């Protein structure tokens, strides 16, 4: 099992990858747009959004304006081999604003719904889902023909990293689109859930995150999984984070 997780800005990371060197892009970008729109209040996830500069508590956010997002997609297209897939996660608001841009670059094949089973926050309808655009560069079938477009996986609570997604969500996407030995990338790796799913599928994983803490956690997690076969952040084999990576005074009760 091989992995390489780097502390890098998304564009520096993608720039370092040769053209047509990647077999699958699967990623979960930070969307400031929705959060600013909803004025979520005090720093549950990335600090206080009402503060100029976001409070900066957890991580500096990717600027999700349409131009930047289009540039990101162009880079994903460049590094992806022909006849390969791409999965990008969206919340409802970023889907409305940025989702259509994916069609300018990729062949959008469908939208997946991640049903988190348990209800979340929301002033009107309370959120229970996230969305994923599934797209291709060229033509590639899925690994089987009986996959539903709803991924039903319970959200995680009391996670070690804010916005940490269940590995099973990435399992559903990755196993549909890879063969063993494929190179999978995630340029917003966070806690490394996508890394664990990629390694589990027998792939090589290359990831990046701008946040030092994310990279340390993801590197530790991927290394633990590669050596023991157990995920230290989920399931029956959870372990405390190593010293220096613990949250200390930052509290969170819900992720994703």
Ligand X SMILES: C[S@@+](CC[C@H](N)C(=O)[O-])C[C@H]1O[C@@H](n2cnc3c(N)ncnc32)[C@H](O)[C@@H]1O
Nearest approach in angstroms of CB 186 to ligand X is 7
Nearest approach in angstroms of CB 197 to ligand X is 10
Nearest approach in angstroms of CB 59 to ligand X is 3
Q: Which residue is nearest to ligand X (CB)?
A: 190
Q: Give dist(CA 139, CA 240) in Å, integer.
A: 43
Q: List b or e across 221-255, with b for residues whose CB sees 16 or more CB atoms inside 10 angstroms.
A: bbbbbeeeeebbbbeeeeeebeeebeeeeeebeeb
The SS3 of residue 112 is strand
Nearer to ligand X, 60 or 108 (CB): 60
Nearer to ligand X, 92 or 140 (CB): 92
Nearer to ligand X, 115 or 140 (CB): 115
Nearer to ligand X, 128 or 140 (CB): 128
Nearest approach in angstroms of CB 1 to ligand X is 19
CA angle 250-196-34, nearest 5°?
50
Nearest approach in angstroms of CB 139 to ligand X is 28
Nearer to ligand X, 30 or 232 (CB): 30
> How many other CB atoms are found less than 10 A from the CB of residue 57?
15
Binding site for ligand X (CB under 6 A): 9-10, 28, 30, 59-62, 161, 163-165, 187-188, 190-191, 193, 208-211, 214
> How many other CB atoms are found less than 10 A from the CB of residue 118?
11
In degrees rounded to 5, what are phi and psi of residue 230? Answer: -115, 145
């Amino acid at each position: 099992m091989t992995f390489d997780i780097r502390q890098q800005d998304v564009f520096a990371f993608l720039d370092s990858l040769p053209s047509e060197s990647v077999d699958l892009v699967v990623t979960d970008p930070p969307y400031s747009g929705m959060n600013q729109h909803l004025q979520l209040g005090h720093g549950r996830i990335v600090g206080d959004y009402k503060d100029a500069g976001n409070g900066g508590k957890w991580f500096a956010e990717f600027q999700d304006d349409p131009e930047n997002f289009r540039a990101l997609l162009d880079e994903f297209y460049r590094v992806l081999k022909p006849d390969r897939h791409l999965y990008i996660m969206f919340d409802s608001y970023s889907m409305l604003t940025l989702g259509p841009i994916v069609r300018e670059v990729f062949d959008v094949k469908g939208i997946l719904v991640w049903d988190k089973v348990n209800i979340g926050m929301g002033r009107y309808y309370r959120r229970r889902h996230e969305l994923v655009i599934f797209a291709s560069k060229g033509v590639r079938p899925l690994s089987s023909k009986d996959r539903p477009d709803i991924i039903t996986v319970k959200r995680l609570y009391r996670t070690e990293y804010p916005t940490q997604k269940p590995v099973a969500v990435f399992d559903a996407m990755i196993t549909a689109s890879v063969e063993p030995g494929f190179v999978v990338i995630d340029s917003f790796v966070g806690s490394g859930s996508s890394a664990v799913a990629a390694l589990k599928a027998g792939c090589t994983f290359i990831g990046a995150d701008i946040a030092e803490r994310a990279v340390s956690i993801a590197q530790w997690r991927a290394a633990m999984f590669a050596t023991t076969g157990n995920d230290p952040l989920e399931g029956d084999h959870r372990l405390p984070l190593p010293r220096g990576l613990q949250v200390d005074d930052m509290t969170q009760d819900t992720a994703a």
